[in-house]
């Protein structure tokens, strides 16, 4: 999708490879003409569920004991809705959460639309999709069989994530013995092998694991399946901080400069900020031993309220990573905080899954930020979910005359498959599967 505000002749994608870039010291002011409020990507995503399964958003709210999207959003932000959101027991919670997935994957029928003679039953192989009768399941099998195994991982992972919410699954940590050699997940797992094995063994034998599977109302998977799920969840948590590190390395950002380095994460939502703490970014610090402080500022209209309580320090301490948040549009944040000197100028800007390729509304809201990043020549890293999204996003950036300097598969992509909620048989995607790096414009 080409931006509607700047139609250009479509160009071919440039052939580029990673390169070292020195951050610029000269900035060129640009006019920001769009003032329309940025839409909430969280809200757009929630209500888009009804496009494929009419009534799904209402079903989700009903099963979660909520009256409106505003209450749902309040919980996502870390608050408690006025209707008294909650469940009487873990068993009820897991059952109601599972009920939000109950609709026929073939005909899209919801439980309320079934006759008394029909009951939604899950696929016995993956336990992740439902059908209203054998005929729908047989008709759907040619499509479902292609993703059934991956969706089996999804079904286990969404239950195991509860161990992260409760804090029972604690990630391995500590300085990296050979940081220069860690270039992807294989080398990271090799470096952390002994520590990780001890962590996983302790988790598998823990009381929390026993309680979890006693509460979900289904058989406990074998140890290898649980171990694989824990590893996938670990990569999902660490994908973002290690992708930041990938960008700092590839773009040649000097993490040893006096006063520390600053990264702005733009378009941040609840995914980047809900239940996120500074310890989740420890691995980013270990990636750059001897750094003089790393400041990561999350900026977006969906930054959670709890995350906004973080304080901003003017100068981060050496060998520490400091996280903070700001709710609002990035170009407004730039005018109010960066240009006035209240916040440090970014050494790099990162956007995880901006999604501007998918919606004219989102593209219109993102345009001022993309132009700002281009014209101020700020080294920028974007991530996307799929190759199709990579292709579409690249074309938009080329049409905007950004200087795309590198793109490709992300070696620190999450290994946890993500199901399209309202279209369960669509091929699962992976967080930050691909990256794009750009810096200024070709003529600059």
User: Phi and psi dihedrals of 438, rounded to 5?
Assistant: -135, 160
Give the pair of three-digit tokens for residue 318.
């050496």
296 pLDDT higher than 50: yes
- Give the model's confidence band at 20: pLDDT under 50 very low, under 70 low, under 90 confident, else very high: very low
Higher pLDDT, 103 or 38: 103
Q: Helical H runs in 347-417? A: 360-375, 387-399
Q: Which pLDDT belongs to residue 82?
A: 60
**Are 374 and 32 a contacting pair, CB within 8 Å?**
no
Q: Which residue has the higher pLDDT, 46 or 267?
A: 267
Q: What is the pLDDT of residue 34?
A: 29
| Average pLDDT of the segment spanning 99-121 | 88
Whether the predicted pLDDT of 219 surpasses 70: yes
What class, spelled out in words, does domain 238-438 have in CATH?
Answer: alpha beta
Return the closest-CA partner of residue 233 out of 433, 431, 382.
Answer: 431
Q: Is the pLDDT of residue 81 over 70?
A: no
Residue 308 pLDDT > 70 = yes
**How far apart are alpha carbons 202 and 41 in whole angstroms?**
38
- pLDDT: which is higher, 308 or 257: 257
Chain position carrying tokens 């074309």: 395
Residue 401's region, left for phi above 0, alpha for psi from -120 to 50, else beta, is left
What is the distance between the alpha carbons of residues 267 and 40, in angstroms, rounded to a whole number? 9
Q: Is the pLDDT of residue 137 over 60?
A: yes
Task: List, for residues 69-80, the tens digit of each pLDDT value.
Answer: 777 777 766 666
Least confident of 58-62, 135-139, 289-293: 58-62
Q: Which of 85-94, 122-131, 186-195, 390-399 shows the lowest mean pLDDT across its residues? A: 85-94
Radius of gyration of the chain (CA): 23
Domain residue ranges of the chain, discontinuous segments joined by +:
49-159, 179-233, 238-438
Distance of alpha carbon 353 from alpha carbon 42, whole angstroms:
12
Residues of the chain with pLDDT > 70, as a percent, come to: 86
**Adjacent-strand bridge partners of 382:** 351, 436
Structure-token pair, residue 138: 């047989």
The encoded tokens of residue 139 equal 């008709």
Closest to 250 in 3D by CA, of 68, 21, 14, 15: 21
What pLDDT digit, counting tens, does each position of 312-362 carry?
A: 556 788 999 999 999 999 999 999 999 999 888 999 999 999 999 988 888
Q: Please answer whether residues 10 and 2 qualify as being in contact, where contact means their C-beta atoms are separated by less than 8 angstroms.
A: yes
Whether the pLDDT of residue 169 is over 60: the answer is yes
Q: For residue 433, what are its two tokens?
A: 């599967």
pLDDT grade, residue 309 (50/70/90)?
A: low
- Percent pLDDT > 90 in the chain is 61
334-338: Cβ within 8 A, 24+ apart: 334/372, 335/32
Q: How confident is the model at residue 37 (pLDDT cuts 50, 70, 90)?
A: very low
Tell the burial category of 275 from Cβ atoms under 10 Å away from its Cβ (0-12, 13-18, 19+).
middle
User: 3-class SS at 348?
Assistant: strand
Give the pLDDT score at 32.
28
Quick one: which of 230, 101, 211 has its CA closest to 156? 230
| 263 phi/psi in degrees, rounded to 5 | -120, 130
- Asked whether residue 389 carries a pLDDT value surpassing 50, the answer given is yes
| Mean local confidence (pLDDT), 13-22 | 35
pLDDT above 80: residue 119: yes
Pairing between β-strand 130-131 and β-strand 121-122 as defined by DSSP bridges = antiparallel
**Of the listed ranges 90-104, 301-315, 357-371, the one predicted with least confidence:** 301-315
Indicate whether 31 pLDDT > 50. Answer: no
How high is the pLDDT of residue 444?
64
pLDDT of residue 67: 78
In this structure, the number of other CB atoms found within 10 A of the CB of residue 383 comes to: 26
Q: What is the pLDDT of residue 306?
A: 77
Residue identified by tokens 């609709």 is 103
84 pLDDT tier (thresholds 50, 70, 90):
low
SS3 of residue 332 by DSSP: helix
User: H helices of 161-222, where?
Assistant: 162-165, 185-191, 193-204, 207-215
Give 38 or 266, the one with higher predicted confidence: 266
The whole-number pLDDT of residue 23 equals: 31
Cα gap 209→202, rounded to integer Å: 10
Whether 396 and 3 have beta carbons less than 8 Å apart is answered as: yes
Quote the tokens at residue 65: 């004991």
- In the prediction, which pLDDT does 198 show? 95
Q: CA–CA separation, 146 vs 425, rounded Å?
A: 8
pLDDT single digits (tens) 187-216: 999 999 999 999 999 999 999 999 999 999
How sure is the predictor about 425, in pLDDT bands with cuts at 50, 70 and 90?
very high
Q: Who has greater pLDDT, 39 or 47?
A: 47
**SS3 for 405?**
strand
Element (H, E) at 430: strand 429-430
Strands (E), 273-428: 294-300, 321-327, 348-352, 380-384, 404-409, 417-418
pLDDT value at 46 more than 80: no
Where do the H-state alpha helices sit in 179-305?
A: 185-191, 193-204, 207-215, 223-250, 270-273, 282-286
Q: Averaged over 362-373, what is the pLDDT?
A: 92
Q: How many angstroms separate the CA atoms of 261 and 291, rounded?
A: 9
What is the average pLDDT value for the chain, to the nearest integer? Answer: 85
């Amino acid at each position: 999708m080409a931006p509607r505000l700047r139609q250009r002749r479509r160009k071919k994608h440039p052939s580029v490879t990673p390169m070292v870039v020195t951050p610029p010291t000269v900035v060129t002011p640009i006019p920001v003409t769009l003032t329309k409020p940025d839409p909430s990507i969280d809200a757009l995503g929630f209500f888009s569920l009804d496009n494929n399964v009419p009534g799904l958003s209402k079903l989700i709210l009903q099963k979660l004991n909520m009256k409106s999207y505003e209450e749902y959003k309040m919980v996502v932000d870390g608050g408690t809705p006025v209707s008294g959101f909650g469940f009487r027991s873990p068993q009820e919670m897991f059952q109601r959460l599972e009920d939000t997935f109950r609709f026929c994957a073939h005909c899209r029928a919801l439980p309320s639309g079934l006759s008394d003679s029909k009951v939604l039953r899950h696929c016995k192989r993956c336990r992740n999709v439902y059908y209203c009768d054998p005929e729908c399941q047989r008709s759907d099998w040619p499509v479902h069989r292609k993703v059934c195994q991956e969706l089996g991982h999804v079904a286990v992972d969404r239950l195991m994530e509860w161990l992260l919410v409760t804090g029972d699954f604690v990630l391995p940590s500590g300085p990296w013995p050979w940081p220069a050699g860690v270039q992807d997940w294989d080398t990271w797992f090799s470096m952390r092998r002994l520590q990780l094995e001890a962590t996983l063994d302790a988790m598998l034998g823990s009381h929390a694991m026993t309680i979890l599977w006693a509460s979900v109302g289904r058989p406990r998977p074998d140890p290898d399946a649980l171990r694989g799920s824990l590893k996938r969840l670990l990569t999902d948590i660490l994908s973002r901080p290690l992708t930041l590190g990938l960008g700092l390395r590839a773009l040649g950002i000097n993490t040893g400069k006096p006063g520390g380095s600053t990264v702005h994460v733009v378009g941040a939502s609840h995914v980047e900020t809900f239940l996120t703490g500074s310890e989740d970014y420890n691995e980013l610090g270990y990636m750059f031993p001897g750094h003089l402080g790393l400041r990561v500022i999350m900026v977006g209209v969906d930054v959670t309220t709890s995350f906004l309580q973080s304080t901003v320090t003017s100068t981060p301490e050496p060998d520490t990573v400091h996280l903070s948040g700001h709710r609002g549009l990035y170009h407004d944040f730039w005018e109010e905080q960066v240009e006035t000197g209240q916040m440090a100028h970014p050494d790099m800007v990162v956007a995880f899954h901006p999604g501007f390729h998918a919606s004219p509304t989102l593209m219109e809201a993102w345009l001022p930020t993309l132009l700002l990043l281009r014209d101020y020549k700020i080294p920028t890293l974007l991530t996307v979910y799929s190759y199709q999204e990579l292709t579409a996003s690249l074309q938009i950036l080329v049409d905007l005359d950004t200087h795309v300097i590198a793109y490709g598969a992300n070696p620190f992509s999450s290994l946890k498959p993500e199901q399209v909620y309202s279209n369960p048989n669509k091929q699962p995607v992976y967080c930050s599967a691909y990256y794009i790096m750009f810096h200024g414009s070709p003529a600059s």
